Amino acid sequence: MTLHPLIAALSKHKAGVILIAMQIALTLAIVCNAVFIIGQRIERVGRTTGIDESNLFLLSQQWVGAPSGDDADSIAKLDAMQREDLAALRALPDVQSVSSINSLPLLGSSWNGAIDIKPDSKKAFGRTTYYFGDDQMFPTLGMHLIAGRAFNAGDVHNQGFRDQKDPDIVILTKVLADKLFPKGDAVGKAAYLNGSGKPVTVVGVVEKLQAPGLFNSDDTTYNSTLAPVRLDANFARYAIRAKPGRLEAAMRAVTPALYAVNPMRVLDDNSVKSFADIRHDAYEADRGMAILMAVVALVLLCVTAAGIVGLTSFWVGQRHRQIGVRRALGARKIDILHYFQMENLMIAGAGVVIGIAMAVGLNMWLMTQYEMARIPVLYVGVGVLAMLALGQLAVFVPARRASNVPPVVATRAA
């Protein structure tokens, strides 16, 4: 088939051709970026926390009429209350282990600071999030220790929630340890927290532990520092690991157990939350965004396909007689079919070329406005193929109808 007559025919209805090409270009640009955003969100939701999430739940509670926690005496009282709670929880038959904890990955509320290998630094070397818990923190969260040792009961001390005293020892996540000590020999080294002059010793390294904050960028989300500290305040959080398969029973048992210890507390329906629910809530917005993007992209493709069907049908109707003439002059059905398919391929081809430029341009604009990465070539490539396929799919029905125009049409009265 020679392309010359095809192009000549296209130039006869420029407006329609330009409109279809424009529509394909716009659709490509929007769909590529929408799918890219979906991909990013799925990647975010799929990040692992580094803890064993099954059979784990969190209990948050507040005491009513608790001591203020502003002086040594009241801190001692708060700590006694907390230890009483921990003992009661550990005694439950469905509970495997319990740790006091200030937060959990994906929970949102976090305690952040700076960490450095030099004392008294003015400019923070690395940002980190802090986890405070007791010696049961490791078995309860189910983290993987890859160097050094975990905390033991002798390491743990308590301090008031607002006391800014640095701990004596810490455990770092691997990414943070590697950043501070690139040689991989973090264990036994000294680090300095929050620009202080007091050295704290790194005693261990865990494989992975995600920060509680959801909006941490990818390079800080695993920068966690663990300290063997039981924080005392008028509220407390306990991370609880149920025995395998006993999660629901354990979650039901904790509230009555704590009320038995001390009824003067606020413990409502939101106080006991499984980690699965924490994860679900944390990513609800991301899931919503991904679903919305997917629906819009899908509807957009349908609208564009419908547009192509509509315009091509019109052209087929308009050229009814010419098709008859061509058939009468010896063109086969398949030639007519190929003609319209080829025509669509050319228009769609022009559309995707413009569309690639628009997709990249849109991505660059989005990068300046929102937190967004550069779109990988793969997304654009797949988008281009999808648009060309969509064009062929949409043109098939009207093209088939065109190929069925009988040659006799040519002889009928004009």
Partner 1 sequence: MFSYYFDLALRSLKRNRVLTALMIVAIALGIGASMTMLTVLHVLTGNPLPGKSQTLFYPQIDPRDMADYEAGEEPPRQVTWIDGMNLLREKRADRQALMTGGAVPVQPTQSALDPFFSDARYTTAEFFPMFDTPFRFGHGWTAADDEARARVVVITNELNNKLYSGKDSTGQTLRMKDTAFRIIGVLGDWRPNPHFYDLNMGDYSGVESVFMPLSTSRDLHLPLNGSRNCWGRGGADEAHFENASCVWLQFWAQINDPAKVAGYRDFLEHYSQEQKTLGRFQRPANVRLPSLMEWLDINKVVPSDVRLQTWLALGFLLVCLVNTVGLMLAKFLRRSGELGVRRALGASRRAVFGQLLMESAVIGLAGGAGGLLLAFVGLWLVRRQPSDYAELAHMDVAMLAATVVAAVVSTLFAGLLPAWRACQITPALQLKSQ
Rounded least distance, CB 353 to partner 1, Å: 17
CA distance 30 to 36: 10
Nearest to partner 1 of 202, 233 (CB atom) = 233
Binding span for partner 1 by CB under 8 A among 151-159, 300-308, 330-338, 401-409: 300-308
**Cα–Cα distance measured from residue 14 to residue 19, given in angstroms and rounded to the nearest whole number:** 8
363 near partner 1, rule: CB under 8 A:
no
Residue 406 backbone class (left: φ over 0; alpha: ψ -120 to 50; beta: rest): beta
Check residue 314 for interaction with partner 1 (CB under 8 A): yes
Contact predicate 239/157, CB 8 Å: no
CB nearer to partner 1: pick between 107 and 171: 107
Distance CA 46, CA 44 (A): 5
- 54 versus 112: smaller Cβ distance to partner 1: 112
Q: Which residues pair with 147 in a beta bridge?
A: 205
Contacts of residue 116, defined as CB under 8 A and 6 or more positions apart, other chains included, come to: 124, 125, 126, 180, 191, 192, 195
Region near partner 1 per CB under 8 A, out of 84-92, 168-176, 184-192, 296-304: 296-304
Angle between helices 284-318 and 275-282 (to 10 degrees): 50
Compute the distance between CA of residue 347 and CA of residue 406 in angstroms, rounded to an integer.
26
Q: Interface with partner 1 includes 62 (CB under 8 A)?
A: yes
Q: Is 304 in the site for partner 1 (CB under 8 A)?
A: yes
User: Of 72, 66, 106, whose CA–CA distance to 84 is shortest?
Assistant: 66
Q: How far apart are CA 251 and CA 385, in angstroms?
A: 51
The pair of structure tokens assigned to 123 is: 């400019």
Selected binder of partner 1 within 145, 146, 296, 378 (CB under 8 A): 296
Nearer to partner 1, 23 or 173 (CB): 23
Q: Which of 11, 10, 31 is nearest to 299 (CA)?
A: 31
20 lines the binding site for partner 1 (CB under 8 A): yes
Does 269 engage in binding with partner 1 (CB under 8 A)?
Answer: no
For residues 117 and 128, is the Cβ–Cβ distance under 8 A?
A: no
Q: Which stretch binds partner 1 (CB under 8 A): 3-11, 60-68, 82-90, 244-252?
A: 60-68
The interface region with partner 1, picked from 57-65, 99-107, 198-206, 222-230 by CB under 8 A, is: 57-65
Query: With binding defined as CB under 8 A, does residue 38 bind partner 1?
Result: no
Instruction: Report the chain's C-alpha Rg in angstroms.
Output: 33
User: CA 142: distance to chain centroid?
Assistant: 23
- Asked if 204 interacts with partner 1 (CB under 8 A), we say no
Q: Tell me whether residue 188 or residue 288 sits nearer to partner 1 (CB atom).
A: 288
Whole-number minimum distance, CB 148 to partner 1, in Å?
30
Residue 270 binding partner 1, by CB under 8 A: no
User: Of 257, 241, 251, whose CA–CA distance to 273 is shortest?
Assistant: 251
Q: Is 299 in the site for partner 1 (CB under 8 A)?
A: yes
Please give the size of the binding site for partner 1, defined by CB under 8 A: 54
Residue ranges in 106-165 that form contacts with partner 1 under rule CB under 8 A:
122-123, 160, 162-164
d(C-alpha 186, C-alpha 174), whole Å = 9
Check binding of 284 to partner 1 (CB under 8 A).
Answer: yes
Query: From the list 8, 72, 370, 411, which residue makes contact with partner 1 (rule: CB under 8 A)?
Result: 370
Among 250, 311, 388, 390, binds partner 1 (CB under 8 A): 311
Min CB(247)–partner 1 separation in Å: 23
Question: If we measure between CA atoms, which residue out of 219, 211, 235, 203 comes closest to residue 112?
Answer: 211
Q: Which residues here bind partner 1, judged by CB under 8 A?
A: 15-16, 19-20, 22-23, 26-27, 29-30, 34, 37, 62, 64-65, 68, 70, 122-123, 160, 162-164, 195, 234, 264, 266, 268, 281, 284-285, 288-289, 292-293, 296, 299-300, 303-304, 306-307, 310-311, 313-315, 317-318, 366, 369-371, 414
